[in-house]
């Protein structure tokens, strides 16, 4: 699963630790999600969408969709 977390975070000048605090996960987890090494659960994905004020599909995309 692809995601735009790193871009969205950079646009706001947030560190991984800032985002981790907001989403109540570890910084390592944010890093793994950004690198595509860990796919977040639906509740966590919704939490990220709420935080950025976007639709969930605007942040996370299925790889198959290209």
Distance (Å, whole) CA 62 – CA 39: 11
At closest approach, how far in Å is the CB of 35 from other proteins?
Answer: 8
Q: Does 25 bind other proteins (CB under 8 A)?
A: yes
DSSP secondary structure of 4-31: -HHHHHHHTT--HHHHHHHHTS-HHHHH
Q: Does 40 bind other proteins (CB under 8 A)?
A: yes
Q: Does 21 bind other proteins (CB under 8 A)?
A: yes
Distance (Å, whole) CA 49 – CA 55: 6
Give me the residues that bind other proteins (CB under 8 A), please: 12-15, 18-19, 21-22, 24-26, 28-29, 31-33, 37-38, 40-41, 44, 51
């Amino acid at each position: 699963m692809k995601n735009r977390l790193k871009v969205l975070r950079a646009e706001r000048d947030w560190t991984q630790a800032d985002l981790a605090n907001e989403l109540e996960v570890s910084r390592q987890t944010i890093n793994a999600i950004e690198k595509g090494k860990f796919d977040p659960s639906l509740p966590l994905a919704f939490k990220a969408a709420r935080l950025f004020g976007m639709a969930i599909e605007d942040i996370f995309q299925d790889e198959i969709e290209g």
